[in-house]
Amino acid sequence: MINSLDPRIAREQINEDNTIAPLTEMDNWETYEVFHQKKRGEQHEHVGIVHAPNNEMALLFGKEQYGRRGISVNIWVVKTSNVFASDYDDADIFETVPNKQYREAGGYKVMEMINKYKKENKEK
Amino acid sequence: MYGNAYIDPNEKPLSILDGEDPIKLAEFEARIARGEKIEPKDWMPKEYRKQLIRMIEQHAHSEIIGALPEGTWITRAPGFKRKLALMAKVQDEVGHAQLLYSAAETLGKSREAMINDLITGKSKYSNVFNYPALTWADSCVIAWLIDAGAIINQVANAKGSYGPYGRALDRICTEESFHLKYGHHNVVTLATGTPFQRQMVQEALTRWWPPIMHFFGPSDKISNHTTILMKWKVKMATNDDMRQQFLNMYVPKIWDLGLVLPDANLKKNEETKLWEYTEPDWDEFKRVINGGGPCNAERLAVRRMAEEKGRWVRAALLNKSEKYVTPLA
Ligand SMILES: [Fe+2]
Ligand SMILES: [Fe+2]
């Protein structure tokens, strides 16, 4: 019998060799991805995961795990199995080639034309 | 709270890079060299995955077991405010375990498998928690100095290459700053209190100094293995470097309070800027980490009891049609 310094444990009268059956798959349930919003007006941001048996418990655990220091105003949980994600190996799908400057603000330069115009008009 | 991952010195050195695709390995190493992070679904060498699982898992176990010696004093904390603070700290530590188990899971080891390895004694956790918190003052020394050591380790590891581990550690480090301040406040209260309080904290410090010196682990063997783990940014500082950093930050603060450390050789060498100390008893460390400490049996028996008692609740809530999917990040 364990004679613990912790009265809560001593009360349980635990044996040192209290072997138990191993945990089996899904004992800790499936996982949810957690998103929180720190402030109204900001985007929700992914903060991590929780294990939970259903949506409500996922929300409860998510609040406890990621909102414990009063830095959230809202929280979303989504089953990991419901997230369809791109692959890091396919990161090249995001690559932009230089000839797509036409869709960037930096692709439009006018000062040179304006200065040239002004200079030519002064000379007249 | 945590020291560096314990790697059994008798473990056969693996041929670390055996069978790895040289092109993928080069890309992987180049990414780390550029300071980019590795994410869960990325290709990674087997040894990188194995070491990270071991390290993060041991870290998670340390958080959850570390809650036990401190939890010992929740029922008898001196005063309501300290009781609330200690409960909050213990809850944080258990939360840290959750964050770390989640990070380890992204590498492919299930949470259930990690818990099984903990409760059967297969996985290690930080050796300091195999010692008892004999008095309230012991819990104060733990909260201050063990958490201080943990912060040094965690701040270093937060800059490591594995994305999910770094993100979990950033979150953890924020909470640890409260633990450190809370612990320091308690120690200062005792050290500046009545003669009896002073004696109590001095005795606790004397008891905890050897485990604290063990905390960062034995000097690293300079091996190929260590070099590769450092190149891969799995291991971010040597055990001795972290121990030096700890001594440099905290010994002066301890001496400021007029407390005495039980090592006559402890002093800073002003030329080398390094601390000198009596070499910790590493045989004692090995004896305790392999099961021979005063509390090893209790710690694991308590975890088994908790798992067993919660089992029917978890089973009752389980929706049997659901399937486990490895978390994304
Ligand atoms: Fe912690
Ligand atoms: Fe802590």
In a domain, B293, yes or no: yes
Task: Flag whether pLDDT at B124 surpasses 80.
Answer: yes
| 8 Å CB contact of B322 and A51 | no
The range of the structural domain enclosing residue B232 comes to 22-317
Does this complex have an ipTM over 0.85? yes
The whole-angstrom separation of Cα A57 and Cα A53 is 7
pLDDT band at B95 (very low <50, low <70, confident <90, very high): very high
In a domain, B9, yes or no: no
State the total domains in chain B.
1
In a domain, B155, yes or no: yes
The CATH number that applies at residue B127 is: 1.20.1260.10
In a domain, B3, yes or no: no
The whole-angstrom separation of Cα B323 and Cα B329 is 18
The predicted pLDDT at position B1 comes to 44
Task: Flag whether pLDDT at B128 surpasses 90.
Answer: yes
Interface A:B, Cβ pairs < 8 A = 130
pLDDT (tens place) for every residue of chain A, 124 residues total: 899 999 999 999 999 999 999 999 999 999 999 999 999 999 999 999 999 999 999 999 999 999 888 778 999 999 999 999 999 888 888 887 777 888 889 889 999 999 999 999 987 6
In order of B113, B179, B230, B284, B297, the CA distances from B129 in angstroms are: 22, 17, 27, 14, 11
**Domain A27-123 part of CATH 3.10.20.520:** yes
In a domain, B62, yes or no: yes
Domain ranges of chain A: 27-123
* A30 at B interface, C-beta within 8 A: yes
In a domain, B11, yes or no: no
Give mean pLDDT, residues B140-153.
97
Nearest ligand to the CA of B149 is 2
| 8 Å CB contact of A14 and B317 | no
The whole-angstrom separation of Cα B200 and Cα B141 is 11
**Across chain B, what does the average pLDDT equal?**
94
pLDDT band at B5 (very low <50, low <70, confident <90, very high): low
Nearest ligand to the CA of B62 is 1
Calculate how far, in angstroms, residue B2's C-alpha sits from the geometric centre of ligand 1: 8
Please list every residue in chain B whose beta carbon sits closer than 8 Å to the beta carbon of residue A38. none
| 8 Å CB contact of B314 and A64 | no
Q: How far apart are the CA of B316 and the nearest CA of chain A, in angstroms?
A: 10
* A77 at B interface, C-beta within 8 A: no
Model confidence pTM above 0.90: yes
pLDDT > 90 fraction of chain B, expressed in percent and rounded: 88
Helix (H) or strand (E) holding A75: strand A74-79
CA quadruple B272, B275, B280, B286: dihedral positive or negative? negative
| 8 Å CB contact of B132 and A5 | yes
